[in-house]
Amino acid sequence: MKRLLWAAVTVAMLGIPVTGGAETPEETRLAPPSTARNLPTLAMLRTKLDAEASSGKARVGLAAIDISTGDMVSVNGDQHFPMASTVKVAIAAAFLHGVQQGRLSLDAMYRLPPAQRQAARGLGDMRLHGRPLSGAELMDLMLIRSDNAAADTLLYAIGGTRALGTWLDNAGIAGQRVDRSIAELLRDHETKKRIRVGKGKRRRWITVSVPRAAPVGDKRDSSTPEAMVALLAKLRNGELLDARRTTYLFDVMERCRTGPGRIRGLLPAGTRVAHKTGTMNGITDDVGIVTLPNGHDLAVAIFETGSGGSRAHDRKIAQLSRILYDHFSATS
**Tens digit of each residue's pLDDT (9 = 90 or more) over 280-291:** 988 999 999 999
For the cut 50, the answer to whether the pLDDT of residue 56 exceeds it is yes
Is the pLDDT at 146 greater than 50? The verdict is yes
What is the pLDDT of the chain when averaged over all its residues?
A: 85
Mean pLDDT across 176-181? 97
* Cβ–Cβ under 8 Å, residues 113 and 258: no
Dihedrals phi, psi of 313, to nearest 5 degrees? -65, -45
In 3D, which of 225, 231, 238, 240 has the Cα closest to residue 324?
225
Domains annotated for the chain, with CATH where assigned, are: 4-190+220-331 (3.40.710.10)
Checking if the pLDDT of 96 tops 90, the result is yes
Mean pLDDT of 7-16: 40
Helix-strand-coil percent breakdown of the chain, rounded to 5?
40, 20, 40
50 vs 130: which has the higher pLDDT: 50
In order of 57, 200, 289, the CA distances from 141 in angstroms are: 33, 44, 20
Q: Which of the four pLDDT bands, split at 50, 70 and 90, describes residue 57?
A: confident
**pLDDT value of position 35:** 46
124 to 14, 249, 270, 271, 299: CA distances (angstroms): 38, 25, 32, 32, 31
pLDDT of amino acid 215: 56
pLDDT higher than threshold 90 for residue 104: yes
Where residue 2 falls among pLDDT bands split at 50, 70, 90? very low
Question: For the stretch 186-202, what's the b/e string if a residue is b when 16 or more beta carbons lie within 10 angstroms of its beta carbon?
Answer: bbbbeeeeeeeeeeeee
Q: Is the pLDDT of residue 69 over 60?
A: yes
Residue 199 confidence class, pLDDT cut points 50, 70, 90 = confident
Torsion of CA 258, 316, 237, 92, to 10 degrees: -30
What's residue 29's pLDDT? 47
Residue pair 186/123 in contact by the 8 Å Cβ criterion: yes
Report the range of poorest mean pLDDT among 180-194, 250-264, 300-314: 180-194
Range with the lowest mean pLDDT among 201-215, 221-235, 243-257?
201-215
Residue 191 three-state SS: strand
At 41 the pLDDT is: 86
